[in-house]
Amino acid sequence: MSETAIEALGLAKRYGRGRGWALRDCSFALPAGRVCALVGPNGAGKSTLLALAAGLLRPTQGVVRGPARTDLAYVAQDKPLHPQLTVADTLTMGRELNPGRWDGEIAARIVETLDPGARVRRLSGGQRTRVALALALGKRPELLLLDEPMADLDPLARHELMGALMADTAERGTTVVVSSHILTELEGACDHLLLLDGGRIRLDGAIDDLLAAHTLVTGPVEDLAPHTVVESRTTGRQLTALVRNEGGPVEGPWQTTSPSLEELLLAHLRASKTADRTPEGASA
Amino acid sequence: MLEYRIDRRSGVATYLQIVQQTKQALRMGVLEPGDRLPTAREVVEATAINPNTVLKAYRELEREGLVEARRGLGTFVRATLGAAPATSPLRGELADWARRARETGLTRDDVAALFTSVLDEHFEGDDT
């Protein structure tokens, strides 16, 4: 399990000289077999990171190392498919483009609710998502990169497709990176987290480890030193703070609980917003 | 075949929900020694949770001696779980206590909170 599926070192991307950094100082290593949630607000750099990982964009700085083109599958946000092909034609194309590794059974299972003779241009957004995912999973990739795959699916379809995806990882150990700005879509399915904001990585690690490394503290407004406070808020006489468990357990007049994943993300996003307002150099 | 219901809003860790529901099925006799638990693949396909979560739950059940993994075959039930019988003297004492609690004017919620806090105190750190 210590094998790395994809790794970035000092990765940065700027779309043109006069423009800001879409992604910067991005370094991480994702162990093989993980299902990684790539989360962050709109414009955080999620799509840029996925396109770089897929080898479709050239980095401005740094490197990203992952499996060869043939061993990865990437489903872009706009799900590019040939509009004139039928569902059945699209899967035939998938088989011909991936000789020797195509899994027609899993591809067929994902589109089984669709009319095989329907042309892609006639399909709804959610139906197109199914076809795009069928193509991606049929390829039996080592690494699957999905950019906001669930955005136009209803809750039932979302659940079914996430189930199909998890079954695939259970069976073949596929590494998955899936982006979303809605955490609840991914909670439960993912065991690893990459939190992006403003083009930078704010959190990176196994979800269990990240949760265990933080404590949510509520109680009277008092100095929390020596603990590292990620973010704190005061409402009247009540303090709510997220601290890192570095200096041992938090002792004092506070109530301590383990944060939920959502609480952890929100605290880090608020903290990174505050950091961005401070002058360059003081942040990061 | 046992079907797990995962409640993402319950605040209970997902693997613990699987552990608890398996134990409940053992107590109720829905699962008996020799029965096979659903495979990780079957569970995740139905629930859309991460396969490692299921494996973690099964490892926990195995550690407690309730199930055993047989290589290539699946995970099988080894033991049953007996609940305290309805005729146990402990139940009588608890019923007596609940009656007195009500007489002193405590509501159902008050009693539940009190009971939970005593449970937490006496079973702290134990496995559920």
Q: DSSP for chain A?
A: ---EEEEEEEEEEESSTTS-EEEEEEEEEEETT-EEEEE-STTSSHHHHHHHHTTSS--SEEEEE---GGGEEEE-TT----TTSBHHHHHHHHHHHSTTT--HHHHHHHTTTS-TTSBGGGS-HHHHHHHHHHHHHHT--SEEEEESTTTT--HHHHHHHHHHHHHHHHHH--EEEEEES-GGGTTTT-SEEEEEETTEEEEEEEHHHHHHTEEEEEEE----TTSEEEEEEEETTEEEEEEES-SSS--SS-EEEPPPHHHHHHHHHHHHHHHHHSPTTT--
Residue B61 in this model has a pLDDT that exceeds 50: yes
Q: Map tokens 């061993």 to a residue.
A: A71
Residue of B nearest to A211 (CA): B13
Task: Judge: A35–B50 Cβ closer than 8 Å, yes or no.
Answer: yes
pLDDT in the model for residue B88: 67
Which of A159, A167, A191 is facing B41, going by the closest CB pair? Answer: A167
pLDDT in the model for residue A280: 47
Contact by Cβ (8 Å): A40, A46: yes
Residue A284 in this model has a pLDDT that exceeds 50: no
Of the pLDDT bands very low, low, confident and very high (cuts 50, 70, 90), residue A12 is: very high
pLDDT in the model for residue A195: 95
pLDDT in the model for residue A281: 42
CB of A169 within 8 Å of any CB in chain B?
Answer: yes
Domains of chain B (ranges; CATH) run 14-77 (1.10.10.10), 89-122 (no CATH)
A164 contacts on B by Cβ (under 8 Å): 45
Which of B6, B11, B44 is facing A170, going by the closest CB pair? Answer: B44
Pairwise CA distance, residues B77 & B90, whole Å: 29
Residue B87 in this model has a pLDDT that exceeds 70: no
Distance in Å, alpha carbon of B44 to nearest chain A alpha carbon: 6
pLDDT in the model for residue A282: 41
Residue of B nearest to A190 (CA): B50
Could you say which residues from 54 to 83 on chain B have a Cβ atom under 8 Å away from some Cβ of chain A? 54
Q: Map tokens 């210590």 to a residue.
A: A2
Which of B40, B41, B50 is facing A189, going by the closest CB pair? Answer: B50
Token pair, residue B1, equals 């075949």
Of the pLDDT bands very low, low, confident and very high (cuts 50, 70, 90), residue A214 is: very high
Residue B85 in this model has a pLDDT that exceeds 90: no
Please, what is the average pLDDT of chain B?
Answer: 88
pLDDT in the model for residue A9: 97
Residue A283 in this model has a pLDDT that exceeds 60: no
Distance in Å, alpha carbon of A58 to nearest chain B alpha carbon: 32
Residue of B nearest to A36 (CA): B50
Domains of chain A (ranges; CATH) run 4-208 (3.40.50.300), 214-277 (no CATH)
Query: In chain A, what percentage of residues exceed pLDDT 70?
Result: 96
More confident residue, B90 or A64: A64
pLDDT in the model for residue B105: 92
**What are the tens digits of pLDDT across the range A34-90?**
999 999 998 899 999 999 999 999 999 999 999 998 899 999 988 889 999 999 999
Token pair, residue A273, equals 């917003």
Residue A221 in this model has a pLDDT that exceeds 90: no
Pairwise CA distance, residues A224 & B78, whole Å: 49
Contact by Cβ (8 Å): A129, A136: no
Of the pLDDT bands very low, low, confident and very high (cuts 50, 70, 90), residue A2 is: low
Partnered with residue A125 across adjacent β-strands are none
* Structural Rg of chain A based on CA atoms: 21
Pairwise CA distance, residues A184 & A261, whole Å: 10
B52 contacts on A by Cβ (under 8 Å): 191
How long a stretch of residues is chain A?
284
CB of A35 within 8 Å of any CB in chain B?
Answer: yes
Task: Judge: A166–B52 Cβ closer than 8 Å, yes or no.
Answer: no
Lowest-pLDDT range of A198-202, A228-232, A253-257, B94-98: A253-257
Residue of B nearest to A37 (CA): B50
Lowest-pLDDT range of A46-60, A151-165, A180-194, A265-279: A265-279
